[in-house]
Amino acid sequence: MTKSIFISGAAQGIGEAVARLFYQHGYKVGIYDINVKQAKALALQLGSNARGGTLDVTSYRQWEKALEDFANFAGEINILVNNAGILYSGYFENTDIQSHHRTININVNGVLNGCHAAFPYLKQASFARVINLSSASAIYGQADLVSYSASKFAVRGITEGLDIEWQKHGIRVLDVMPLFVQTAMVKDMDAGTIQNMGVQLTPQNVAFEILKCVQAKNNFLTPTHRPVGFKANAMFQLSKLSPQFINRVSNLFLSRRKN
């Protein structure tokens, strides 16, 4: 039976790259996004094994309807990619509180909704994985990206907890942790870190790492977290070895603005 993958926020950016890559590898692909017109256009462009639909990840009811729609199309749901997310940058106090709340609602509650609503399908599937989009911002709290960084720490925690809890069901829950990726989300971003670290990763880089997560063997040697790119991997490894004050000082240095 052809495996299937359901992707939230799949109409553009990383989600689109994941959809294209997995379609090329013979998967049935679910492209669900709040921008339903763009999602359906991408599905039509890919071909008969792709299906586009509407999904506001903050709505549990929309998750239920979207997953049911895709399950009817694909036969079963093997892989859930919780990709949808937003980012506000700049000084914490200069970002209105509604935007901070919206970040948490989409980036955290969207993942909780997706995992919870998809569980009955994943439990029944012959092969099941959840891949969450975390971030290198979940390694150490980031200045100018406070609510975004906090949301990705939450995603990291959800991933770690469910990866243990759902082992008994044969479901691995993993995440990828890229640094900054060349998408619309980082355009005109107001943060010292991006000025100092730059944006080298492409959506395709992240998509390939997600494919590796899916193809990895289902055992304890497969790490729960997968940093994407040399810089993110270096930060991840160093954070485990360095004293806390060194991590703080290094992140303070990286967050300094050039103007």
- Reduced to 3 states, what is the DSSP secondary structure of residue 49? coil
CB of 226 closer than 8 Å to CB of 212: yes
pLDDT digits (tens, 9 = 90+) for 174-202: 999 987 545 455 555 544 455 544 446 78
107 within some domain: yes
What does residue 142 show for φ and ψ, rounded to 5 degrees?
-105, 125
259 within some domain: no
Question: The domain that contains 91 carries what CATH number?
Answer: 3.40.50.720
| Residue 91 among the catalytic residues | no
62 within some domain: yes
Partners of residue 24 on adjacent β-strands: none
> Residue 72's domain spans which residues?
4-254
Q: 3-state SS of the chain: helix, strand, coil percent to 5?
A: 55, 15, 30
239 within some domain: yes
Domain count, the chain: 1
Q: Which of 27, 88, 140, 148 is catalytic?
A: 148
The pLDDT assigned to 252 comes to 41
155 within some domain: yes
Q: What number is the average pLDDT over the span 206-219?
A: 89
pLDDT digits (tens, 9 = 90+) for 129-184: 999 999 888 887 878 889 999 999 999 999 999 999 999 999 999 999 987 545 45
